[in-house]
Structure 1
Amino acid sequence: MLTFLEIPKSNYYRWKNKPDDEYECKLIDRIEGICSKHKRRYGYRRVTAVLRTEFHLNVNHKRVRRIMAENNLQAKIRRKKFIHFKPAVIVKKADLVQRQFKADEPNRKWYTDVSTITDGETNLYLSAIIDGLNNEIISSVIGSSPNLELAFETVNQAVQGRTIDKVILHSDQGGLYTSPRFQEFVKEKNIIQSMSQVGVCYDNVLIESFFSHLKTEALYSQDFDATNEQIIEIVEEYIYYYNNERLQLKLNKLPPIKYREQLHTA
C-alpha cells in the first residue's frame, strides 16, 4: 500500500508512533511540575533527565525543549549577556588593593561593579559601590543600560554627604571604568582608581560576593514572573536589609551599618 500510494516508510512509522493527545497533556503536566518544583531553574536538558530518571519516560530532549518553549517554561536564570559599553580609548590602572580589601576607616577603599539582573520583563543593570570598612552598600543605581551615565550616577550617589579624601575606587577592567571620560570624572571627585586583573573575580571579591548574595537570597528564590518595577522594589528592599539587618560573621555578627556605628562609639 505504501508503494502504491508512494508514501515513504519513514512517514508511516512517524504516524504510527505518534502519541495521542492524552499522552502529550500528561507530559506537559509533568514538565510543568518539574519546572515549578525547581522554580524555573532547570533548562530542557535537566528537565529531560528528570523525566527519564524519576518518571522513566523515554522522551526526546528536542520534544521537551519544544513543549517548554510553547508553554513559556524556559529557565529564568541564564540569558545571553548584553554587550557592555566599550570606549574608543581604553586606559588601564594599576591594582592598588592587591586583595587587601579591608579598610580601617570609612571612605578609604570602595569597590564597584555592574551586575545584570535577568528576572524582570527586560534586563536591568545594577551598579553599586561597597565600602571596605564594613561591607556597606553606600551607593546603588539600577538602569536599563550599562552605560556611562549609570556609572556617573553611582559615584555621585556615593560622594553625596561624604568627605572624600583620595578614596580608592577599585573595579574590574570593564569598559565603563577604562573609559577616559569616567576616569576624568572620578579624578574631579578626588577619587583614585584601581583595577583588578582581567577575568579574575577574586580581585574584586567584596562586590562580587554582594551580587551573589542578592541574586541567591532575593531573586532566584522568587517563584513568579516579576515586572521591572517589582524587581527594582525587591532589590532596594534587599539592600536595606543587607545594610541594616543581615548579620555578617566577619563584622562581629552585626549588620554593616550597626558595625560602623559601633566603631564610632567605641
Structure 2
Amino acid sequence: MSTKYAVKDMLDFLGISKTSYYRWKKHIHRKDVALVELIQSICIKHKFRYGYRRVTAELRWKHNQIVNHKKVQRIMKENKLCAKIRKKKFSFFRRQEALKKVDLIQRQFQATKPNEKWFTDVSELPFGEKKLYFSAIIDGYNNEILSSAISTSPNLDLAFETLNKALETKEVNGVILHSDQGGIYTSPKFQSYVKKKNIIQSMSAKGVCYDNVLIESFFSHLKTEVFYSQDFTATNEQIIELVEEYIYYYNNE
C-alpha cells in the first residue's frame, strides 16, 4: 500500500505518529536480522546438512520460534544456506548369474526386534583423490548403522569386512540380510559364507532401488548432507573421517 498512498497520509489517517511507525519498522528489521543469524547458526551447527523443513522444526522446538517454512526457505535461499539436491546413485555392479535369492522383505522394512532384518549395499564416494566405495549394514528395527567399511575396490573383501564388523558386536541367528543383486551378493563365495553364519539371504528385484530403500536412503542423506552441500577437495583420509563422523551423528542425533 505504501506505493499507492504516501506514508504520511496513511499515518495521519490511522492516527499513528511517524516516530512510532519508524520505531516499529526498525524493530521488524532487527527481528529479521536476528532470525537470519539464528538460521545461519543452525545451518553451521549441523554443517549445512539440514534442509529448510528441518531448520523450521528446530526453530520451533529448540528455539521457540514459530516461523512459516516458506519464509525459512526464502531466507536460506537468499543467504545460500540450502542443501543441494541429492544426486541419483550410480549403479556400477555387474550381476553374476549365480544363485539369486528370493525377496523375503517385500518392502516390509520395519523389524519388530533388533537383528531381525539387516539391509546392506555398496555405494560410490567419488569425492576424494581416488574414487572410494562405501559398504554399510543398517538394522531395520531402529535404522542404526551397525557396521561400515570403505575401500578403493567394490569387491568381496569389502562386503566381508562390513559383515564381520557387524557380527563382532551382534549375536545373530536367522537374521535376514537383504541386498540388491550386485555381483558381490550373488557370488557363491559370499552366499556360502553367510549361510555358515546362520544368516538368511534376501534380494530385491533387479534394478528396483525401492526394494532396498532403507540403505539407499541413508546413502542419499550421507552424500547430500556431507558432500553435495559443500565444494571442496579432500584427501581419501579426510573422506573416511567425514563418513565416520556422519555415521556417529546419524546414529546418535
TM-score by length of 2: 0.63
C-alpha separation between the residues in 1 aligned to 2:124 and 2:232?
19
Judged with a 3 Å threshold, the aligned counterparts in structure 2 of structure 1 residues 82 and 124 are, in CA distance, closer, same or farther, namely: farther
Partner of 1:207: 215
Alpha carbons 1:218, 1:238 under 8 Å: kept: yes
- For 1:1-266, list aligned pairs within 5 A: 84=93, 87=96, 90-245=98-253
Alpha carbons 1:109, 1:131 under 8 Å: kept: yes
Alpha carbons 2:95, 2:181 under 8 Å: kept: no
C-alpha separation between the residues in 2 aligned to 1:124 and 1:154?
15
% of aligned pairs identical? Answer: 68
Q: Following TM superposition, by how much is the alpha carbon of 1:188 offset from its aligned partner in structure 2, in angstroms?
A: 1.0
* 1:228 alignment partner AA: N
Q: Following TM superposition, by how much is the alpha carbon of 1:85 offset from its aligned partner in structure 2, in angstroms?
A: 6.1
* 1:99 alignment partner AA: R
Q: Following TM superposition, by how much is the alpha carbon of 1:90 offset from its aligned partner in structure 2, in angstroms?
A: 1.4
C-alpha separation between the residues in 1 aligned to 2:250 and 2:190?
28
C-alpha separation between the residues in 2 aligned to 1:209 and 1:114?
12
**4+ runs of 1 displaced by more than 6 Å?**
none
C-alpha separation between the residues in 2 aligned to 1:182 and 1:164?
17
C-alpha separation between the residues in 2 aligned to 1:219 and 1:155?
25
C-alpha separation between the residues in 2 aligned to 1:139 and 1:125?
14
Alpha carbons 1:170, 1:195 under 8 Å: kept: yes
C-alpha separation between the residues in 2 aligned to 1:104 and 1:181?
30
Judged with a 3 Å threshold, the aligned counterparts in structure 2 of structure 1 residues 133 and 83 are, in CA distance, closer, same or farther, namely: closer
